[in-house]
Amino acid sequence: MRVLLVNPDMLERWERMRQQLWPDTPSSIHWEEMEACLANPDRQAAFLCEDDAGVVAGFAEASLRSDYVNGCETSPVAFLEGIFVLPSYRRRGVARALVIAVERWAMSHSCRELASDTDLANLTSQSLHASLGFEETERVVYFRKELSETSREN
């Protein structure tokens, strides 16, 4: 297995991996986000993990966040935006190799913390994060309220 920093020649392979992690996202959005990542290498990075035959086994994406990151004490914080490993490659060290690459990238950008998040119901992801050395910092429920003209009147 080898982990590679994504470059423009890898876009199609990267997009196929993204489609598996985020299948409800339109392909056009994946392409926009990938191009934005590559255009901003000081703030974002993506990695692919290949097996010895060149088959992509998984990917990870990270960014630098300078705003508040739940549970963190420093800034900027490297943030694991997404990680995915094909089912046939799980429990074979792929996720660990990807996170090590993200950690090295983060440290090269003077980060002292790596953060991530997952849905409350995603127990598989929570278990993965724990096995990779992440510690849970807090549980949050987000709210939203749609604003309308009647909001101004109240």
pLDDT digits (tens, 9 = 90+) for 98-148: 999 999 999 999 999 999 999 999 999 999 999 999 999 988 888 999 998
Stretch 81-99: mean pLDDT, rounded? 96
Find out whether 106 and 68 touch, Cβ atoms under 8 Å: no
- The number of residues making up the chain comes to 154
CB count within 10 Å of CB 54 equals: 8
- Tell me the pTM: 0.89
Domains of the chain, start order: 2-153 (3.40.630.30)
Which pLDDT score is estimated for 150? 72
Q: Is the peptide bond before 87 cis (omega within 30 degrees of 0)?
A: no
What are the pLDDT digits (tens) for 27-71? 999 999 999 999 999 999 999 999 999 999 999 999 999 988 888
Any idea what DSSP says for residue 153?
Answer: H
